[in-house]
Structure 1
Amino acid sequence: MNEVFEIVMIFYLLMFSKISAQSFIKSDICDDVSRNSYIENELTALRELLIEEIKDIRSDLLSIPANQGPSSVPCPSEWVPFQSSCYFFGNDYGNWKHGKVQCERKHGSSKYVSISSEREDTFIRNFVRSKGITALAARDYWIGGTDAARDGVFMWEGYSREFTYKNWGPGNPDRVGSADCVILYQPSDYKWHDTSCSNNNSYICEIEF
């Protein structure tokens, strides 16, 4: 977004310089006081114009759906690009290990998804919502979070790093029984819940670039 603002500002500054110079040359303004006053008025007008343009650009960028976020990565067929990653949303079901195996088979460098920011989490949740899954289908999605290696410390599978961003659903992680794996839970609008790794769910994979 900052790059867009800079381009706009440079463009209008160039336009301002050209127009102001032409206008000033043609004018009869000669004394320093009048010249300074003229320049100050022009700069004030330019500032107001830039503020309005920035507001319009910000509004346009914020209106872009999350699943159409900026991305220049070349994704394989059936994978969805977002920022510097590609994502695969599985349609089949299986336990957590099944999803892990499927993700690793999909592409040479693909793994279970690891979610590191609110923006990434919003993109993923918006995408699964857009699939139009009904409550009757009860489709939840495995993600790469697990505390199987160290109870109570959730790590991202394949990355050996702890959660830095979290979006747990109400009362979670609840640590009930062998709830060592993490899902996006449909009844809580796809917020994170810990559950038994032996349950059957769909899965989400990621290729990071």
Structure 2
Amino acid sequence: MNFFARVFILCILSLNSATFPDKRQRLYTKVVAHDGHLPMTSDIISQHGNVSSLSQCGHACSGLSGCCSIFYNEATKHCLTASSVNQHGLLSSPGYGHFTLRGEVIAEGVCFDNSIYIVGLTKEIWTDAQNICLNKGAKLVVIQNEQENEFIRSLSRDIGETVWIGGTDSTEEGRWTWTESTDAMSFKAWGPNQPNNYNNQDCLSLYMQFDFMWADENCLTTYKYICEKNLQ
């Protein structure tokens, strides 16, 4: 699904209680470490009996605010939808599998593992983009690994132009950190000859001309942006 189709669906969901077609293909990632467990009651959004398949369980999650996880028991045909999943508060319940919805468009944004990603369609300077994300209970994207990086790049390709993400070296030149931490980044995916600090570039972007690899940019340049809302 391209970006504009996603935006259209998000708009419909925000105005109505529209649901997704039953036959829409969804991608699930099984969280093997959570086999045989259920989330805490406070994390459960809804429960459903007589659910014939994992796909139908995933369909129950669509359109529910904050729903990016499902727990499904194939034997009992019982389905639970969940928001945040506190791995330290999981309850033992044999037969259930935990699945996250990858790339699924829900009312708030797009699911990937334990986060919802929200695309900012206005062009903002980096600090304003970060503040808008914070006002949504989110932050500019923090990319932790190659899988997440490729997912965010795919979102950026749908947008079709350079976007801001949450890295900066404004505190110490050359020492890149995420806004939520003072620790140096453990994962990096720089484009060619980046970062180069050309004319004092201290903020991190996914640069269209580098096929959305990382590049440092002047923080006062205006770009669209991607927020990340953690559900864990």
Is the TM-score greater than 0.5? yes
1:2 is displaced (CA, Å) by: 8.8
User: 2:163 matched to 1:141?
Assistant: yes
1:130 is displaced (CA, Å) by: 3.1
Check whether the contact 1:90–1:202 (CA below 8 A) recurs between aligned residues: yes
Q: Deviations over 1:134-168 (max 9, x none)?
A: xxxxx211100000011110000123332111110
Check whether the contact 1:112–1:158 (CA below 8 A) recurs between aligned residues: no
User: 2:158 matched to 1:130?
Assistant: yes
Check whether the contact 1:169–1:192 (CA below 8 A) recurs between aligned residues: yes
Distance 1:124 1:151 in 2: 25
In structure 2, the partner of 1:204 is: 226
Distance 2:118 2:148 in 1: 14
Runs of 4+ that moved beyond 6 A: none
In structure 2, the partner of 1:74 is: 83
Match of 1:204, SS state, is: strand
TM-score (norm 2): 0.54
Match of 1:91, SS state, is: strand
Distance 2:31 2:107 in 1: 31
TM-score (norm 1): 0.60
Match of 2:148, SS state, is: helix
Kindly indicate which of the two structures has a greater share of residues assigned to helix.
Answer: 1
Unaligned 5+ residue runs, structure 1? 7-70, 134-138
For the pair shown, the structure with the greater C-alpha radius of gyration is: 1
How many residues are aligned here? 137
With a CA cutoff of 8 Å and minimum separation of 6, indicate the structure with the bigger relative contact order: 1
RMSD over aligned Cα atoms? 2.4
Kindly indicate which of the two structures has a greater share of residues assigned to strand.
Answer: 2
Q: Deviations over 1:79-135 (max 9, x none)?
A: 11101111111110011011011100112xx1111001000001111122234x3xx
Q: Which of 127, 140, 148 is matched with 1:120 structurally?
A: 148
